[in-house]
A and B are shown apart, each in its own frame.
Chain A
Amino acid sequence: MATIVERDRQLAPMDSWEIPRSKPWYQKLARLAADNPVGAVSFVIVVLFAVVGVFGASIAPYNPKELDASSQYLGPSSVHLFGTDKFGHDVFSRVLTGAQIDLKFGVIVMLFGFVPGVVLGVISGYARGWVDYVIQRSAEAWTAFPPLFLLLTFVSAFGPGLKTVEMVVAIGALFSGSRLLRAVALIEKQKEYVISARSTGATETRLLLRHVVPNIMPFILVGFSSVFAVAVLLEATLSFLGLGVAPGTPSWGADLAFNADNQGTKYPFLVLFPGLAISLVVLAFNLLGDTLRDVLDPRLRGSTGARK
């Protein structure tokens, strides 16, 4: 045995016994971005969306609600990047401020829907029993219906407005979060690391928080990204149908509907820009979710067949 160790030493002489330093985080990030260009671009779009959602109103070149009868229906130009609509509103400024509604909506849905859903899902997958049964059956019943019909029924009960839409979409996010994480927790709790941690005397709470939750973090992030995409899409649809934001509020869905009704066939760019904004943001969240799944959890690679 000793001879083998000596021979190895001769083959690979080592200056020091230090473990090679890991690369700094920005190099790792650059490597990750170079490996996943689509994911990197969609991440940049998501960050841009968040920034515009917070600061959009202050960086907008014009007041999005200001009436200007002298500048009706101007085409895209250097003065008005996306042109102006029937009331002379600058469409570019309205698109920038419109991000605010969607960001706020998405964050509310995530906080009050998805996050409790994740907690509920992990608990119900981990503990099972009748609680699990009740949650899962109600989730199945809820997701069996087309979301638009559920939204309309709730709108007729509580009246139109963002509050109602937020409530219904949050319930949907709660159920989809709980279903996703329940399935993950069911698989995870059978794993060997859980059993070995338990055998060393870890309490159930510690086991859940220190061992299980970090291991299922990738699934939570993937779910977060795709549920956010659905939330933005539903808000836009409901505002388009006139059941979401109050009339006049800059919102991508409502602006698209308004512009289509007012000379949309003559000035298609009025319809195009808000529509592209919605599509781009939803696309970025979807692609980011797919990339996260590929990067964070290689086991799932190709399981939905989206990419790679």
Chain B
Amino acid sequence: MLRYTLRRLSFLPIILLAVSIITFVLLRVLPTEDFADVIGGSNATPEQKDAIRDKYGLRDPVFPVTVSGECERVVWYVPKCSLDGPVLALHPHSQYGSWLIHALRGDFGTTFNNNADVRHEFIRRFPASFELVFLSLGFSVVFGISFGILSAMYRNSPIDYGVRIFAVLGTSIPEFFLLTLLIVIPSYLWNYAQPSGGYIPVYDDPMHNLRLFLPPALIVGIAGSSGLMRLVRTTMLEVLRSDYVRTARAKGLRGRTVILSHALRNASTPILTAIGTAFIAVFGGSLVAERILSIQGNGLFFFTSTLSRDLPVIQFLAVYTAAVVVIVNLVVDLSYAWADPRVTYS
């Protein structure tokens, strides 16, 4: 188990390295415009632009290794290169190289926008996103599993029909529509304004914190639970038909024991997978919630940086998202063994 965990964790740096290289290609090689214009604004003087290029090292090659040699295209997809001299050129100063060296020390550069430390900005916004994501995930899991079980237990009953209708609606109605209604409807009907913006930690003002986070988390969580609900229903229907459930009933065990410790435990593997998927869905959904309610979290940070093409922020958040995705998948895989003793990793 420990060896398996360590082996899986050893892949993490490789994946993060790959993601950082891909984002560098995407963000620095492919775009055609001059980033000095983006940073300096349209009315920057040539001297100011030069200063910006020096400061952010925009004159350096993007990658430390480049392929040199003259190339011409024979057909449009076949380049023919003359290989005189060294083919690979090494550059001591490159944009990716200096980013990587600093990143390994935990320094992710400064934002293009206002020269703030990226890591510091990220940490400042982290609690808001964290609270939103985990509240939503909590609602998603509680709601999805409980109603999924109920729907399977009382098949073809009104509860079952309700759950099935809800599951289709949940995948069809966009989150941004529900979240906009959250602002619009209470204000129109009851003159109640859903608070937005600002983050107040739960230990400073629990009531305000709750008013800010509970409604969007309920919407993101419950809307995101439809996939989980469907899956719990199907797997439970299969498990409830099995012989060991009938045996457990025949032994005279209580219904609750049969459902929770015999049936649910055996259905745990696909359900845990679906919880991992729900986490990723909620992680994305919280971005929309942060944008609509202007909650100062990392989703909104990502969004505003995208608009202003703030490359250092996007690079960091891309690597961070990859790390979150990899770690969530690892945790899900490890939890199989915890929930189902038959699963072993060796």
Contact = CB atoms under 8 A, between A and B. Distances in A.
B297 to A, nearest CB: 14
A43 to B, nearest CB: 15
B302 A152 contact: yes
Interface residues of A, number: 47
Contacts of A303: 234
B203 interface: no
Contact of B173 (A147, A153, A265, A279): A279
Contacts of A282: 171-174
A123 interface: no
Interface stretch (B51-59, B124-132, B283-291): B283-291
A263 to B, nearest CB: 10
A271 B234 contact: no
Interface in B305-327: 305-307, 309, 311, 314, 317-318, 321-322, 325
A158 interface: yes
B172 A149 contact: no
Given A156-B311, A283-B172, A148 B184 contact: no
A208 interface: no
Contacts of A237: 174-176, 288
B174 A233 contact: yes
Given A153-B23, A275-B177, A282-B172, A243 B306 contact: yes
A144 B329 contact: yes
B164 interface: yes
B317 to A, nearest CB: 8
Given A144-B329, A306-B167, A260 B172 contact: no
A145 B321 contact: yes
A266 interface: yes
A265 B284 CA distance: 26
Interface in B124-172: 164, 167-169, 171-172
Nearest to B27: A157
Contacts of B185: 268
B164 A279 contact: no
A230 B263 CA distance: 33
Contacts of B291: 241
B188 A266 contact: yes
Interface in B168-204: 168-169, 171-177, 180-181, 183-185, 187-188
Contacts of A199: none
B183 A290 contact: no
Interface string A233-249: 10011001111000000
A154 interface: yes
A240 B291 CA distance: 11
A287 interface: yes
B207 interface: no
Contact of A279 (B172, B188, B318, B329): B172
B168 A283 contact: yes
A214 B175 CA distance: 37
Nearest to B321: A149
A305 interface: yes
B67 interface: no
B303 interface: yes
B230 interface: yes
Contacts of A268: 181, 184-185, 188
A306 B164 contact: yes
B230 A306 contact: yes
Contact of B180 (A155, A242, A256, A307): A256
Interface of B: 23, 26-27, 30-31, 164, 167-169, 171-177, 180-181, 183-185, 187-188, 230-231, 233-234, 237, 280-281, 283-284, 287-288, 291, 302-303, 305-307, 309, 311, 314, 317-318, 321-322, 325, 329
30 contacts: A145-B280, A145-B321, A146-B281, A147-B284, A152-B306, A153-B26, A153-B318, A155-B306, A157-B26, A157-B30, A229-B172, A233-B174, A237-B174, A237-B175, A240-B176, A241-B288, A264-B180, A265-B184, A268-B181, A268-B188, A271-B180, A271-B181, A272-B181, A275-B180, A275-B181, A282-B172, A283-B173, A305-B231, A306-B168, A307-B168
Given A153-B314, A302-B234, 16 more contacts: A146-B280, A153-B27, A156-B306, A156-B314, A157-B27, A159-B31, A241-B291, A260-B180, A264-B183, A265-B183, A265-B184, A268-B184, A278-B177, A287-B168, A304-B230, A307-B168
